[in-house]
Structure 1
Amino acid sequence: MGCQLPADCLNEIFEYLEKDKPALYSCLLVNRLWCEVSVEILWKNIWNFKSYRQKYSQKVASSLLSTFITCLPNDSKEVLYKNEIFISTPTPKQSLFNYVAFCKVLSIIDINEIVYNALKDIPCINLLSVDDRNRLVTNEVTKMFTNQISSLKKLIYYYNYSHKVFSSAYFPGMKELSELCCSSNLPSDFYYQMSQICHNLKSITIEFGYDDHISNELKELISLQNNLKILTLSIYMESWTNIIPSLTKHSNTLTKLRIYYEDDHINYYFLPLSFISLFSNLQEIIFSFTCLTVPDLKDFKNLQHVKFPKLQILKFLYQNPKPKYLMKFIENNGKNLRELYICENNNILNSSIANFCPNLKSLFIIFNDDEIDILKNILISCRYLVSIKIQCGDGYLTEKEVLETIANYSSSNFCELKIYNESCTNHVSSEDLESFLIIWKNRNQKNILRFIIIENDNKYKCLSGNEENKKIIEKYVNLGIIKFEIKLYGEEEEEEENLYFYA
């Protein structure tokens, strides 16, 4: 009889497969022990297989809801039966495992979305309205999760006017909660109950909706945390600033700050940012301003001279402050930066990166078509750089220029190149592509090159659409020189957002 590893050893091994779902799925078929360990890992966060903004397909939603219904306790099944709500299940028998008990993440908004998508084409056969039916199913499923999860790590609860799930925030697993994602317009009694139970939240994400009233109970919940590390603010309103005093109480513990402004109606000119200077231990700052017009961000002027001695990650995902303010900020804080993401092109700002950010490992900036020397200087000066994302096409550098420069000037540590050609013009020829890969093959590289092409549209392929290029890429993939990926524009940004909301 073969030796069988104990469950705790298998769990530690399988944890490494958490992001490799096909490999983890294959473990389900080995034997019952492997199956149980795999199921426990898969169900730890069942919501993370989709992107944050992606809708559940009806097929996926129906499959998940059927599994939920199978796991429901008999009293909840009776409630649905009495209301003539009949949802098919994979098997009439009891489920093999108590899947729900394995969950460490609970997402109320995902349960609501799954129920809606699974039942949207199924008419009601009783006196209940569709909304009432969906609300009833959602409430019973949510009640099952709250009753059976013994140790919850993360709660995602964004308010939806079509249903109200919690009459109380308390359930047994809440005591160990470390992450909360919520909207500011949840009932005040929810935040009051939370403030009585949860004082050890490490991460809080708050979505501020239009004309939301920010309750004192929410402010109290934030104030009472003992060791808050990560704060994410997603803002659709202007009147959120009265929460700032509660935030600044964590000036010594906060290490990551992410601010998302999602609406053109916000007055960016008076956007408060100077309060960030109080968080002297920040290691990561991310701004996302998605307005159509460039914000003035006047208050960033007050941040330009502030020094954050531990800052390693700085990202502006859409719009930037004025270049002169941002350049001064980078001058004061660039030495320790490991990641820099700036998605506007400015010659002087781009030139300053080589001087002020010598320890960068990851970079995204936009180069104009006459700035190839700036890219060379960055590659020469930033010898720890391992990843760069570059936009090519009309008005920008050509793919040929980028490949030649990366091949000749990047360090032996460099191992990831991302190219996005928005206009899908001036793309690299087969000869130039193979020339780049030959040079790369002959370099003394520490790692395989991860080569990622970001396409603007599935219909209009650029570098990867050329049949000869495909053959060349396949050849060097088989030789173990590169790993090649194609992503659609926007996928990568969604994946990054997905990390913040579902990690």
Structure 2
Amino acid sequence: MDKINSNTLHKSPVLVPDCLNLVFNYLANDKNTLFSCLFVNHLWCNLAAQHLWKDPFSLTTRIQKVKLFQVYVSSLPHKEIRQLNEKGLKIPNLVTPNFKLPYFSYLKQIFYRKIEECALEWLLYEDDSDSSDKFSLNSFENMEYNDDDISDEEYKPTESELEVSSEESSDECSEDDSGSMKIVFRDTFFQQDPNHPIFALHQKALTFAVFKQLLVSCNKLDVLNMSLFSSNSTIPNIVLIPGCHTAFSDITVFNFFQKGIYGDAERAKIICFLNILGYSSRNISKIEMIVDTEIEETYISNLINVQEDLKYLTIKYAQGRTNLQSFLESIPQTLVYLELYAVKLSDCSFNALFECKNLEEIKLVRCRFICHKLDQEQVSESEGLNLKKIFWKENIYNHYKYCVSLIRGANKTLKEVVLCLPANRARDITDTNEILNALAKFCPNIELFAILDVYSYYTQLVKVFESYPWENLTFLTLGSEHSYSVPYVAIDRLAPYLPASLRKLRIACAVSEQDLKKFFDICQAPIEELSIPNSNQIFTNRHLRIVRDYIKEKRTLKSFDFEFVHNQVISYELWNEIKEMADTKTHHLFDPFYYPSCDLF
């Protein structure tokens, strides 16, 4: 008994696989540490390999990409290699790796763009070193693996394994470290020319072959990112990939980015891809699509409608389209986040949107409403929305009552509102005033409010603050359309009605120095952060002196952001004086109106 107890006391504790997986999940972005875990023991090797091969395309250096792609190319079936050779792609004689672990089945994330990048690097360069140089992450292949072996005996790698480990764990790899690299294509008419049509065809063929093999070999994917490498890239023909249904069945995140106006054949491939994905997967929780070609909203609706727990949906059309018959037919009620850019909507779309009780944030930019005979009284009312953020920009063809209905439905839950509304017609101003009235009447808990082209709506805005003070407002932005040119905004008229809760103020419109001084004299809110994006040189040294005096007198301003313009004459002595009293920033100022471009490449 004493002997048994002695052995038990001296035996090292063992972490069960579930605990190790939690640790490795925490180390997901630390590839160096994960690679070191391969050499602890057999159990650690197996589990660490699963985490390393979840997303192998996260490798960044050229040499790493070439070696990784070498592994995949060498694992292609002989039939695929023969077909590639028939297309003029000269695949060198590669030794098929004899893996003891099913690395390809560990794959959980596919980024099509990264596969294209690796294919490009591999086509340009091929490692001509001795075959004993091993493949990426293959240095532990000589370990004797046993499913039941959880021994804590330390694994001691050989010298060659340590050499490869050091190479793989290094984050710095010079472009000149390629050793004896050789060009795969030596034909003089497109040597090292990735833009040559024949080279592009070879890249597409090789990318598709590897993509096909990954889908066939992997177990089930979590993330499918079909962002394309360039405007010359095309979506793979999913019909030619048997077994893709199994790989797609558990996808939770789907991204699709495409640029370039496609013909009917390529457009049909995109539609087919979306249909098969919708047929295979019901568990996608996040969909993000940016489409440059004319794919009707109906096909996208077919994909999103079958998802049982879709929470995040982003759809952007990068190009304007002429077909007005198609629209986003319905919107899942499970949504938490919705972002639409240049998407065509209908009354049915908004009625479905009003039923999304869990929706917390919505961004509508340049969306179009396809019905031109809408009666104002036909807009449905929404109730019980959990909406916290609204970003409404340039939706010039959407009836303002849809925005009002969202506001009424959100009621006290609405916290942040950004309005970028047109003021080209008298009707636009009237409609915007109705939106402002709805915000003031139904949403008393606004914390962030930003309005563009404030001059056109300023009179109504002053009335809103005078009649319905937002007691929780902490951030206010007054913006200007296009340029900060005259007429000036009489900002001092707003000062008496600003709530005491206001802490951050962004003045992105033209304001005279007299009105700015009156504003600071009257305003009782303890402003802590002031931002002035001076892109049109409206603000001068006189404005800065007023800000300096405000800092000295009130002693509440802690941060001042002021954007200098090239060749603008600003007193550096005055600026240095302000810097001594407050934190300053002179570029990359926060802009609540900013919306990223859809240009992908």
Normalising by structure 2, report the TM-score: 0.54
Aligned partner of 1:234: which letter?
A: K
- Sort the Cα spacing of 1:31 and 1:239 in 2 relative to 1 into closer, same or farther, 3 A: closer
Q: Which residue in 2 is equivalent to 1:201? A: 284
Q: Aligned partners of 1:453 and 1:40: how far apart in 2?
A: 50
CA contact (8 A) 1:69 1:77 kept: no
Q: Which residue in 1 is equivalent to 2:69? A: 69
Which of 351, 368, 371 is equivalent to 2:462? 351
Deviation digits for residues 154-196 of structure 1 (CA, Å, limit 9, x no counterpart): 4333576643334448376644423333368653332232123
Q: Does 1:164 align with 2:263?
A: no
Displacement of 1:287: 2.4
- Sort the Cα spacing of 1:348 and 1:434 in 2 relative to 1 into closer, same or farther, 3 A: closer
SS of 1:297's equivalent in the other structure is coil
Q: Aligned partners of 1:417 and 1:99: how far apart in 2?
A: 54
CA contact (8 A) 1:261 1:288 kept: yes
Displacement of 1:132: 0.9
SS of 1:286's equivalent in the other structure is strand
SS of 1:219's equivalent in the other structure is helix
Matched positions, count? 441
Which of 242, 246, 258 is equivalent to 2:326? 242
- Sort the Cα spacing of 1:11 and 1:61 in 2 relative to 1 into closer, same or farther, 3 A: closer
Q: Aligned partners of 1:70 and 1:103: how far apart in 2?
A: 17
Aligned partner of 2:583: which letter?
A: I
Q: Which residue in 1 is equivalent to 2:499? A: 381
- Sort the Cα spacing of 1:298 and 1:436 in 2 relative to 1 into closer, same or farther, 3 A: same
Q: Aligned partners of 1:46 and 1:408: how far apart in 2?
A: 57
CA contact (8 A) 1:433 1:469 kept: no
Which of 516, 522, 525 is equivalent to 1:401? 516
- Sort the Cα spacing of 1:145 and 1:492 in 2 relative to 1 into closer, same or farther, 3 A: farther
Q: Aligned partners of 2:124 and 2:493: how far apart in 1?
A: 54
Displacement of 1:431: 5.2
Which of 191, 199, 202 is equivalent to 2:274? 191
CA contact (8 A) 1:105 1:153 kept: yes
Displacement of 1:487: 1.5
Instruction: Write the mapping of 1:88-99 to structure 2, written as runs, cut at 5 A.
Output: none
Q: Which residue in 2 is equivalent to 1:125? A: 186
* Alignment RMSD (CA, Å): 5.9
Q: Which residue in 1 is equivalent to 2:136? A: none
Q: Which runs of 5+ in 1 are unaligned?
A: 19-23, 50-59, 88-92, 263-269
- Sort the Cα spacing of 1:297 and 1:124 in 2 relative to 1 into closer, same or farther, 3 A: same
- Sort the Cα spacing of 1:426 and 1:107 in 2 relative to 1 into closer, same or farther, 3 A: same
Q: Which residue in 2 is equivalent to 1:364? A: 477
Instruction: Write the mapping of 1:423-502 to structure 2, written as runs, cut at 5 A.
Output: 423-428=536-541, 434-435=548-549, 442-443=555-556, 452-453=561-562, 460=566, 466=572, 469=575, 473=579, 475=580, 482=583, 484=585, 486-487=587-588, 493=594
SS of 2:409's equivalent in the other structure is coil
Q: Aligned partners of 1:163 and 1:465: how far apart in 2?
A: 55
Q: Which residue in 1 is equivalent to 2:444? A: 335
Displacement of 1:124: 4.6
CA contact (8 A) 1:362 1:387 kept: yes
Q: Which residue in 1 is equivalent to 2:157? A: none
Q: Does 1:257 align with 2:338?
A: yes
Q: Which runs of 5+ in 2 are unaligned?
A: 1-14, 39-44, 126-182, 191-196, 259-266, 369-393
Deviation digits for residues 47-67 of structure 1 (CA, Å, limit 9, x no counterpart): 999xxxxxxxxxx88577446
Percentage identity across aligned positions?
Answer: 13
CA contact (8 A) 2:221 2:250 kept: yes
Structure having the higher Rg: 2
Q: Aligned partners of 1:118 and 1:33: how far apart in 2?
A: 28
- Sort the Cα spacing of 1:213 and 1:296 in 2 relative to 1 into closer, same or farther, 3 A: closer
- Sort the Cα spacing of 1:142 and 1:10 in 2 relative to 1 into closer, same or farther, 3 A: same
Q: Aligned partners of 1:453 and 1:330: how far apart in 2?
A: 29
Q: Aligned partners of 1:327 and 1:398: how far apart in 2?
A: 28
Q: Aligned partners of 2:535 and 2:495: how far apart in 1?
A: 22
Displacement of 1:423: 0.9
Displacement of 1:13: 7.1
Displacement of 1:489: 9.4
Deviation digits for residues 186-225 of structure 1 (CA, Å, limit 9, x no counterpart): 5333223212332122233344545435565x43322212
CA contact (8 A) 2:506 2:531 kept: yes
Q: Aligned partners of 2:448 and 2:77: how far apart in 1?
A: 51
Aligned partner of 1:164: which letter?
A: I
Q: Does 1:391 align with 2:508?
A: yes
Aligned partner of 1:326: which letter?
A: T
- Sort the Cα spacing of 1:344 and 1:492 in 2 relative to 1 into closer, same or farther, 3 A: closer
- Sort the Cα spacing of 1:418 and 1:430 in 2 relative to 1 into closer, same or farther, 3 A: closer
Displacement of 1:233: 2.9
Deviation digits for residues 19-66 of structure 1 (CA, Å, limit 9, x no counterpart): xxxxx89xx5999469x99999999999999xxxxxxxxxx8857744
Q: Aligned partners of 1:148 and 1:400: how far apart in 2?
A: 69
- Sort the Cα spacing of 1:424 and 1:233 in 2 relative to 1 into closer, same or farther, 3 A: same
Deviation digits for residues 252-290 of structure 1 (CA, Å, limit 9, x no counterpart): 33333322129xxxxxxx974673244233432222239
Displacement of 1:131: 1.5
Which of 298, 303, 311 is equivalent to 1:221? 303
Q: Aligned partners of 1:108 and 1:469: how far apart in 2?
A: 50
Normalising by structure 1, report the TM-score: 0.62
Displacement of 1:463: 9.5
Q: Aligned partners of 1:317 and 1:214: how far apart in 2?
A: 25
Which of 177, 189, 194 is equivalent to 2:251? 177
SS of 2:418's equivalent in the other structure is strand
CA contact (8 A) 1:101 1:149 kept: yes
Q: Which residue in 2 is equivalent to 1:52? A: none
- Sort the Cα spacing of 1:324 and 1:231 in 2 relative to 1 into closer, same or farther, 3 A: farther
Q: Which residue in 1 is equivalent to 2:313? A: 231
- Sort the Cα spacing of 1:99 and 1:366 in 2 relative to 1 into closer, same or farther, 3 A: farther
- Sort the Cα spacing of 1:387 and 1:70 in 2 relative to 1 into closer, same or farther, 3 A: farther
Q: Aligned partners of 1:400 and 1:13: how far apart in 2?
A: 54
Q: Aligned partners of 2:537 and 2:593: how far apart in 1?
A: 18
SS of 2:594's equivalent in the other structure is helix
- Sort the Cα spacing of 1:450 and 1:123 in 2 relative to 1 into closer, same or farther, 3 A: farther
SS of 2:587's equivalent in the other structure is strand
The 10-residue stretch of structure 1 (111-120 or 317-326) with the greater mean CA deviation from structure 2: 111-120
The 10-residue stretch of structure 1 (219-228 or 314-323) with the greater mean CA deviation from structure 2: 314-323
Q: Which residue in 2 is equivalent to 1:299? A: 399
- Sort the Cα spacing of 1:170 and 1:255 in 2 relative to 1 into closer, same or farther, 3 A: same
Q: Aligned partners of 2:464 and 2:64: how far apart in 1?
A: 48
